Amino acid sequence: MAKPLILVTNDDGITAPGVRTLIHIMKKIGDVIVVAPDSPQSGMGHAITLDSTLYAEKLTIDEESEGIVEYSCSGTPADCVKLALQELMERKPDICVSGINHGSNSSINVIYSGTMSAAIEAGIEGIPAIGFSLCDYKWEADFSQAKEYVQTIVEQALQHGIPKGTVLNVNIPKLTKDELKGIKVCRQARANWKEKFDKRKNPMGKDYYWLTGEFELLDQGEDTDEWALANGYISVVPTQFDLTAHHAVQELNSWNF
């Protein structure tokens, strides 16, 4: 029986410890091809490159990934998936996995996430896709506690398939392996960022702005990703890329256009 073909990507860049960990986990499951940004692309959302050229360089990053085909791409996470599917892969992958992101992509963060946008781009193309994130922004974050869970989730997705029109948004709390309680399928918590811009001056006296803010949880439900993470569980949120607010269609049709 042929091994599944797995496309691996991320938004922290091809050398990030998170994606190196994900690559090594995926090697246990199937044949792996990596197409990832050549530099960090966090917060890029679903941006694509339209006004400049794209480059993809074939390379080897570490000894553990020897034999795996890897490309470093000059574009965004969404660009990486588009280029992989249209130019760099000889056949359609069985699954696309993105991450492991350094930092949470739960709740409203999914909107801004390059990690999830890469997975969503694959989903749009009809490929089962999962975005993985660890709730630790440090470059030297410890991903070891989540390895077995990541492998299990991908194997289950390959076995059962992912519901059509959705991708999975998986977030892992910053806990030890012994502290993790398991996996919960959740809904996205209602939350927002209370943002402000810190106005500063550069040495030349010119004003510049630095975005800051605080995460504001507006949802006390016990079926959300934020609740699961706060209570020691890995959260799995089925995320759709149809942005239609279907519940509002009937109301809008009552308007006098």
- Count the neighbouring beta carbons within 10 Å of the beta carbon of residue 183: 17
Query: What one-letter code names the amino acid at 241?
Result: F
Whether the Cβ atoms of residue 104 and residue 215 lie closer than 8 Å to each other: no
CATH architecture of 5-188+221-252: 3-Layer(aba) Sandwich (3.40)
Helix, strand, or coil (residue 256): coil
Q: Per-residue pLDDT tens, the chain, 257 aa: give them.
A: 789 999 999 999 999 999 999 999 999 999 999 999 999 888 888 999 999 999 999 998 887 777 899 999 999 999 999 999 999 999 999 999 999 999 999 999 999 999 999 999 999 999 999 999 999 999 999 999 989 999 999 999 999 999 999 999 999 999 999 999 999 999 999 999 888 899 999 999 999 998 888 888 889 999 999 999 999 999 999 999 999 999 999 999 999 98
CA angle 214, 116, 209 (to 5 degrees): 40
Backbone angles phi, psi at 74, to 5 degrees: -80, -5
The predicted model scores a pTM of 0.94
d(CA 167, CA 86): 20
Question: What residues does each domain of the chain span?
Answer: 5-188+221-252
Give the β-pairing of 191-201 and 207-217. Answer: antiparallel
Binding site per annotation, positions for a divalent metal cation: 11-12, 42, 101
Q: How many CA atoms lie within 13 A of 68 on its CB side?
A: 28
d(CA 179, CA 182): 9
Examine residue 100 and say whether the peptide bond preceding it is cis (omega within 30 degrees of 0): yes
Binding site per annotation, positions: 11-12, 42, 101
- Count the neighbouring beta carbons within 10 Å of the beta carbon of residue 197: 11
Q: Tokens 């519940």 sit at which residue?
A: 247
Structure tokens at 217: 């949880």
Three-state SS for 196-238 is EEEEEECCCCCEEEEEEEEEEECCCCCCEHHHHHHCCEEEEEE
d(CA 97, CA 129): 6
Give the β-pairing of 69-73 and 56-58. Answer: antiparallel
